[in-house]
């Protein structure tokens, strides 16, 4: 799924993101607002992983929610 679609339906996808990354709070997900960079940044921050790894996880997740 592309990010324009995810952003447009972010309310629906927040739950799926929370299932994948349980350490993210509702507030974290609200702030991300479907923005790929924001979501990756929050994941990087919460899980202490490299930016590239966070982006890889986000990309993998976005492909899995089709």
* CA 43/CA 36 separation, integer angstroms: 11
Per-residue pLDDT reduced to its tens digit, 6-64 = 999 999 999 999 999 999 999 999 999 999 999 999 999 999 999 999 999 999 999 99
* CA 13/CA 10 separation, integer angstroms: 5
Give domain 3-64's CATH architecture: Orthogonal Bundle (1.10)
Residue 1 has pLDDT above 90, yes or no: no
Q: What is the pLDDT of residue 43?
A: 98
CB burial class (10 A; 0-12, 13-18, 19+) of residue 17? buried
Q: What is the pLDDT of residue 60?
A: 96
* CA 36/CA 56 separation, integer angstroms: 11
* CA 23/CA 9 separation, integer angstroms: 21
Query: Which sequence spans correspond to the domains of the chain?
Result: 3-64
* CA 29/CA 46 separation, integer angstroms: 12
Q: What is the pLDDT of residue 52?
A: 97
pTM for the whole structure = 0.92
């Amino acid at each position: 799924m592309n990010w324009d679609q995810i952003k447009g339906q972010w309310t629906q996808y927040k739950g799926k993101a929370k299932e994948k990354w349980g350490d993210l709070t509702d507030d974290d997900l609200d702030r991300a607002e479907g923005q790929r960079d924001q979501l990756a940044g929050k994941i990087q921050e919460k899980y202490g992983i490299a930016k590239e790894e966070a982006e890889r996880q986000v990309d993998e997740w976005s492909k899995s929610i089709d």
